[in-house]
Amino acid sequence: MHLARWGVDSDMESLAGLVRGTAPTPGVSFARAVRERRPGKDWARDKLLSMFTLKAHPEKLVILTMPGVRWVFEQHLLGLRDGEGVRDGRFRNTTVHAIEREPAIYSASLKYIPGGHLKYKHISNYLPYSVCTMWTPKVHRYYCGRVEDYAVHGKEVLDAAWLDFTGPLNRELLGCLPLLWNRVRGPLIVTALNARWQKNIDSRIQKAGGCAELLRDILPGAVEVARHDYNDGVPMFQTVLRREE
Ligand SMILES: C[S@@+](CC[C@H](N)C(=O)[O-])C[C@H]1O[C@@H](n2cnc3c(N)ncnc32)[C@H](O)[C@@H]1O
């Protein structure tokens, strides 16, 4: 899976070259677009980082993330919480589980995966829905699969999860997020496009008063504790949901 090992410079242009002739998937289009500056995204990501400093969250943190190609959030998070503190192949304060559904992006991101330069290994048949699962000393599990399947089949109990979607909510996500919610003890953060959702969920969104409000309504006991909407060309919402105390 590691393109660099095959002598391919695994940046997005190389990937675009490899997939020439096929329409770019939404994820690949997103990865190309993020080469441009996105001040809203940076601001919203920083808001989340400040929730997970050691001061704000001194307990151990087991978190699910969607890293994209460059692992910007995870690199900062690990730096903030653990510095260079790998001990016995494990980080003291933070365990990162990560997921990416697009094989091209997954491959490209292995060039930047935290800890990948130290050591990495494939975890075979770890989960039935994951095309590939990797481990590094800094990333406990990196699945090539869909959040929707992870929500249904995953077993890990998490302290937090940041679902950072490129596109809008859809009916399948709305169906499986309550299952993931049952396994997240602390905040569940959802970032998604605040537009262009499927017609079949339009009336539910209108009735709830918006996408974030609909999520709050379908997750038992959820309250919104922060909201970081932004617009870097398209409107995005970012909601932080926790269980009612
Ligand atoms: C917005 S980007 C992640 C950006 C990153 N969190 C950051 O801070 O820059 C979202 C990534 O998730 C992937 N993705 C989108 N929907 C997904 C899904 N349902 N399951 C797994 N991965 C998904 C996309 O291919 C893309 O690489």
Mean pLDDT of the chain: 87
207 pLDDT more than 90: yes
Give the HSE-up count for residue 52: Cα atoms under 13 Å, Cβ half-sphere.
Answer: 34
Query: For ligand 1, is residue 72 a contact (CB within 6 Å)?
Result: yes
- In the prediction, which pLDDT does 5 show? 45
Query: For ligand 1, is residue 63 a contact (CB within 6 Å)?
Result: no
Task: Name the CA radius of gyration of the chain, rounded.
Answer: 18
Query: For ligand 1, is residue 143 a contact (CB within 6 Å)?
Result: no
| Choice between 35 and 208, residue whose per-residue pLDDT is larger | 208
- In the prediction, which pLDDT does 31 show? 60
Do the strands 188-193 and 160-164 form a parallel or antiparallel pair, or are they unpaired? Answer: parallel
Distance CA 170, CA 56 (A): 32
Query: For ligand 1, is residue 99 a contact (CB within 6 Å)?
Result: yes
Q: Are 66 and 31 in contact (CB under 8 A)?
A: no
Distance CA 2, CA 106 (A): 9
Distance CA 97, CA 180 (A): 14
Instruction: Tell me the pLDDT tens digit for each residue of 119-170.
Output: 899 998 677 788 899 999 999 999 999 999 999 999 999 999 999 999 999 9
Distance CA 87, CA 75 (A): 17
- In the prediction, which pLDDT does 52 show? 97
- In the prediction, which pLDDT does 6 show? 44
- In the prediction, which pLDDT does 190 show? 98
**CA 231-81-85 angle, 5° bins:** 140
Average the pLDDT over 194-207 and give the result. Answer: 93
165 CA distance to ligand 1 middle (Å): 5
Q: Domains plus CATH for the chain?
A: 3-243 (3.40.50.150)
**Probe ligand 1: pick from 164, 230, 237, max atoms within 8 Å of CB?**
164
Residue nearest to atom 20 of ligand 1 (CA): 146
- In the prediction, which pLDDT does 29 show? 64
32 CA distance to ligand 1 middle (Å): 13
Residue nearest to atom 1 of ligand 1 (CA): 166
98 CA distance to ligand 1 middle (Å): 10
